[in-house]
Every structure is written in C-alpha cells, then in structure tokens.
A and B are shown apart, each in its own frame.
Chain A
Amino acid sequence: MVGAGDFACVTGHSGAGKTTALKLVPVIERPTSGSVVVNGQNVGALRRGAIPFLRRNLGLVFQDQKLLHDRSVFENVVLPLVVCGSAPAEAARRARAALDKVGLAGREKSMPIALSGGEQQRLCIARAVANRPSIMLADEPTSNLDPDAAAEVMAIFKAFHQVGVTIVVATHDAALVERFATRVIHLSHGRVIDARPETAGA
C-alpha cells in the first residue's frame, strides 16, 4: 500500500489501529491474519533471528520517544551504529552527521532531559536515521509538540523524503497530512477504509 519514496500518512481516530499498523512493519507485533510485505519480503513470517536485521533497515520514531535518559545525546544516536558493528570512528562521524541534519549539532554532550520536547523528538529522528534506513516509521511524532515544533519535525521528515527515504507517519493532525503527505491511508477499527491515491505499492 505504500510505495518506495512515498511520504505516507496513516490517519484515523484513537484506537483505529495506526500504532498497531506501524508495529507490524518492524515485527513488534505479528499479524493475526493477512501479511505484511516490506521490500518483497513477508516480514510477518520472519524467524526470530532475522528480525533484528530487518529493523536495522528501518528508522523508528516512537510516540513515547524511548530515549535513554542516562545517556548523552551523542550516545543515544550512536547506539544503533554500535549495535550494527560500525567502526568507532565511522559511527561517531555518522552520529554527528545525523545530529547535524536534525539541528542538534553542538548538543552532543547534553543529556536528553536538558532538551525541549521538540529537540527530544528531533533526537529520536537523528537516532532513527543514523543507520541511513530506506524506510522511516514515525508514530504520532508531533502529538506532544506545539505547532512550531511540530512543523520543524515534519520539515525534517520532508527533507529525508526528498533524498529518497520512504516515510510513513501515523498522525491525526489533518493539517500536517494536507501539507506533507503524498499518500494517505485512513484506518477505522483496524481496517483501511480509504487510501489516496489508490495505486498499490509495496
């Protein structure tokens, strides 16, 4: 339903299934019926040991951010690179580049608690893009932000979209959808009730 290079917004009221839909992609949850296909691969059928390697190619931004508050900004961003076994110098370079892209250059040594809500969300995005994923999934990334901070965050997603990253954002903010989405998927009670444009993707 989402094509490569799309900026897709998944919309719907609370409890419609937006978060669940996003969790199916990195196999945080498995489908009870049907299938979830990412880059031609049925991820719902992946064996447990293969799931981490799928997740390394996905950039995940969570509604509750999931930052490590006992680690510095830099340590949070470098973590996915360490997990993937990047060489320390390369990991540091890419982490700094990611922080630079989200406007947090110079804040490497700060602790997440010292950042504003918008900055914390940008830190989440930096961590998500550090591994240069081809697909980014964001669950309500602007829900706790003021309009200006929300616009900044969405602009960052837009910038990554423009360099070819597929973006899937779950949101109920109609204005953001209208402004940024190239594709809209509307859910209700766990089912897709509307998809615009209707071209099928993968």
Chain B
Amino acid sequence: MRAWLRHHAHSLGATVRRLARTPFASVLNALAIGVTLALPLGAWVLVVNLERLGGHLGADPQLSVFLETDATRADSARVEAALKGAHGVRSFRFVPKDEALAEMKRTQGLAEIAASLGSNPLPDAFIVALIPGDAVAAERLAAELRAVPKVAHVQLDAVWVKRLEAMLRLGGVGAGLLAGLLALGLVAVTFNTVRLQILTQRDEIEVSKLIGATDTYVRRPFFYQGTLVGLAGGLAAVALVAGTVGVVNGEVGRLAATYGSDFRLQLPEVSDLAAVLALSAVLGWCGAWLSVSKHLSEIQPR
C-alpha cells in the first residue's frame, strides 16, 4: 500500500514538474481547452439566466379583460357570469380600477406617472388564469368576451413567455449538443497532447519497462497528465466565463435598470462549477486513456 501511494506521489510529482518545465506550452494548452469549454459553459450560463428572467413572469396562459371606463357593477357582473360558465378557465380575479391605480403607484418607474394623473384613467379588469395546453379554447373565449357589452379590450397574455420558454428549451438543447461536441474536442486535444508526450518519453518508457516497470506504473503519469490538463482547461473555462460575466454585467445592470429591474447575470452555483471542473478532468483522463491504450503498447523494449 505504501509503495502504491509512493508510486502515485512520484507520478503526480513528475507530471507536475514536467508541465512546469514548459510553462508557456502548458498554459497555452490549458487556454485552448478553456476556450473550447467556455463556449458551452457560457451558453449554459446564458440559458440559466434567461430562465431565471422568464421565471419572474409566469408562464401559464392568461387573459386580461378590460372594461370600458364607464362600465358599471352590472357590466362587471355580466362578464363575471360569462367567465363562470366558460370552458378552459382555471380561475379569475376582478381588479377594480382603484386597485389597479394603487398597484401602478407601487410599481417602480410608474409611480411618478400615476401621481401626476388628475383622475383615475384605468378601467375595471378581470385577470383570468386559463388551463394550459388549449390555445383554441383560449382564443374562442377571448372572442366570446369581446362580444360582451362594455368590454373594451381582451388581451391573451403569456404567448411571448411561451415563445421565450420554447427558445430557452431550444437554447438548452443547442448548448447540450455544443457541450457534447466540444467535450469530444477536449478528449481529442488531450489525446494528442498525451500522444506527443509518449513519443517524447519513448526512451524513458522503454528503459522503465526493461528495469521492471509494470504497465500500470508506465501509464500512470500520462493519466495524471490528461487529468491535470483537463482540469486546467476547466479552470481556464470557468475563469473566462466569470471574467466575461463580470465585464458584461455592468451593461446588463444599466439595461435592466431602464426596465425598473435589478437583474444581473449570475454564475452557476459553486457546486455546478465544481461539477464542470470534475467533468473536464474526467474528459482529460478519457483522452489520456485512449491515447495510452493506443500508443503505449507500441513501445516495447528492444
């Protein structure tokens, strides 16, 4: 057990020293992998943030029914009766014009406008939550409500949220596919890096085998190399994405402020970033394993 640990310590130390002997090449290698990984990681960060943004908005289909400003309680009751008997309605809520104005006054960016109004220009309204998944019924209900007297406007909301959701799903799938392709790229880069290292150390490998090194002993430094290169690439990717988010966030904040929002891009949780690093290390190991399996058996003592 002690000898086994010593072998690992020796292999890891030798690999780190070898990488440190060529710092420029090692950093460039990590950077190449980092840029490769930064693309899907950046796309993932973007999708997660857009999902977060969309999450504030509610995705269930919704109808807003606005009455004429001179509509009476009787007119409201007629609309209410129509909604109670309607197909596809999950729930509805009556919003009197006074409540709407109070809500407007509480809303950042609209408070000043509301305060400057002499009288309440807002109408009574109904907010109707629809059962999702039946767009035809929603359209039919909207048409029926438009025909009710004193109904000024019927708005079928949340369509754009649905579209955003669909786009995010598409973006997620795209980011996943990109991640898969670039993961193959990482494996290929590591494969080649380890192949070159095997060729560089050909004499050492041959001598080691002649003096009693097992295949496991000979392979181990290359596994460490692949894993470390993958891990360094993962770190570079996280640093690149974090740096980009830091640079862009100032502008995002300024843009969000114009909409009365304090939205900022956020990096994934530490545990998610740790998973990215672990994955890049595993991919590096896979590249090394493929390379070692392919090339090491070709080197036999002569």
Contact with A along B196-230 (1 / 0, CB 8 A): 00000001101111111111010000000000000
Whether a CB of chain B sits under 8 angstroms from the CB of A87 is yes
B208 touches which of A28, A53, A79 (Cβ 8 Å): A79
B212 touches which of A48, A66, A68, A83 (Cβ 8 Å): A83
Task: Select the stretch in B3-11, B175-183, B260-268, B274-282 that faces chain A.
Answer: B3-11
A83 touches which of B2, B206, B208 (Cβ 8 Å): B208
Chain B residue with Cβ nearest A91: B6
Chain A residue with Cβ nearest B3: A85
Give bound CA distance, A137 to B10, whole Å.
Answer: 28
**Which chain A residues in 45-90 approach chain B with CB under 8 Å?**
48-49, 52-56, 60, 62, 66, 68, 79-80, 82-88
Counting chain A CB atoms within 10 Å of each CB, the highest count among B10, B210, B217 belongs to B210
Tally of B interface residues using CB under 8 Å: 21
Give bound CA distance, A87 to B9, whole Å.
Answer: 11
Give bound CA distance, A62 to B206, whole Å.
Answer: 12
Counting chain B CB atoms within 10 Å of each CB, the highest count among A26, A28, A52 belongs to A52
Tell me the smallest distance from the CB of A146 to a CB of chain B, in Å. Answer: 26
A-B residue pair count with CB separations less than 8 angstroms: 56
Give the B-binding residues of A (Cβ under 8 A): 26, 28, 48-49, 52-56, 60, 62, 66, 68, 79-80, 82-88, 127, 131
Counting chain A CB atoms within 10 Å of each CB, the highest count among B2, B203, B213 belongs to B213
> Sorted from nearest, which 6 A-B pairs have the closest CB atoms?
A85-B3, A56-B212, A55-B212, A80-B211, A83-B213, A52-B214
Chain B residue with Cβ nearest A84: B212
Which B residues touch A87, using CB under 8 A? 2, 6
